[in-house]
Amino acid sequence: MSTPTRVADLEVLYAGSLQEVAAGELFPRFERLTGYRCEERGGGSREWAKQLRLGRVRADVLLSADASVNELELMRPGEEVAEWYLIFATNELVIAYSTDSPSSVQMRALAQEKDGWLRLLQAGYRIGRPDPEVDPKGYRTLFALQLAEARLGLRGLVAQVAGPARNPEQLHAAAELMPMLERGDLDVMLCYRSQAEETRVPFLALPEQINLGSPDLAEVYAAASYQCTDGTVYRGALIAYTATPIRSGRHPLAAAAFLVFLASREAAEIIERHGFRGARAVVRPQSSRHGDLTWRRPAASRAQVAVLLPSKVGSLQCRPPRSPEVGEDLWESATGRRPALGSPQQEGSQPGLSPSLPQSRAYGWTMQ
């Protein structure tokens, strides 16, 4: 007699660049801590957000590689499917190169020279990038080249390196790019520092003015832009990863618990081990009830932490995310109301508090 398949307690869509950290560590750890079962799928952040807005896919939470997709897609006026989100990590662009490419010896030599990153880009090597219509890394690659032209005086760099924005000779599915680089099917690519560190491919840092990694250079980054074929315009900004609860999600309490877990010290440690920078901030666009967000660099830590000013959020300390009160408090702090649990909990898809869960460890918010 076959065992019946257990229904998922939390449905998550996530950015492909989160594959290793999310599917490999965050989801399994959350399941062990809480007893919730996650059903997750990876893909391009912008495409996931569009499909959610159009009602073509279903999820409780979207983990996106770009905060912009929240306001431009999920919170589009008249079509809103979400109203707030949590920033939980930041990143930066680097240039990675292949050790299995026929040109690997020459690339290694160029990488040792002054401005090696630029020499790698200008040498005519095979470059791969995602479609900017689908994946944030696609338009961020273009942003970096635009900023290099404007801020570093490298006129003509976009045309020389990328050609047309959707150059068919360079565009590949985001999930295929790093394997192609590792096999030597590509020579160089712009990728996130976290991806380069996870795969241990050689890479060079980019200047801060173009790597989209500094919260202090927001105005500089905003000068770069890409207009999608549907007219949506994305602008350069700090690379920020967000977790967004979807209004139509069937498991709001599980979603709230997962967001609390993402804001925990333990999750931040996992995230930073994978080359990301930990961050914490709740953002509710077009609302001043949370005040301003400030970015700080803590001493003895390379994490860039966004702290939320209201003391309300500071109360979410020393309680595990499995506790219903924690999930409900986070939800209320962001929306101003308690979560509507509805029929999913009544049907048993929201399991009760596990007695084995550690009760003393702080999995809640820590104000900096």
Q: How much is the pLDDT for 263?
A: 82
Q: How much is the pLDDT for 262?
A: 87
Q: How much is the pLDDT for 353?
A: 27
Same fold, 10-89+239-346 and 93-235: yes
Do residues 196 and 99 make contact, with C-beta atoms less than 8 angstroms apart?
Answer: no
Would the pTM of this model clear 0.85, i.e. be above it? no
Q: How much is the pLDDT for 3?
A: 44
For the chain, what are the domain ranges?
A: 10-89+239-346, 93-235
Q: How much is the pLDDT for 302?
A: 25
Q: How much is the pLDDT for 265?
A: 83
Residue numbers in the chain where pLDDT is lower than 50: 1-5, 287-326, 341-368
Q: How much is the pLDDT for 124?
A: 95
CATH of domain 10-89+239-346: 3.40.190.10
Single-letter residue type at 18: L
- CATH 3.40.190.10 given to domain 93-235: yes
How many CB atoms are closer than 10 A to CB 221?
25
Q: How much is the pLDDT for 328?
A: 54
Three-state SS for the chain is CCCCCCCCCEEEEEEHHHHHHHHHHHHHHHHHHHCCCEEEEEECHHHHHHHHHCCCCCCCEEEECCCHHHHHHHCCCCCCCCCCEEEEEECCEEEEECCCCCCHHHHHHHHCCCCHHHHHHHCCCCECECCCCCCHHHHHHHHHHHHHHHHHCCCCHHHHHCCCCCCCCCECCHHHHHHHHHHCCCCEEEEEHHHHHHHCCCEEECCCCCCCCCHHHHHHHCCCEEECCCCCEEECCCCEEEEEECCCCCCHHHHHHHHHHHCCHHHHHHHHHCCCEEEEEEECCCCCCCCCEEEECCCCCCCCEEEECCHHHHCCCCCCCCCHHHHHHHHHHHHCCCCCCHHHHHCCCCCCCCCCCCCCCCCCCCCC
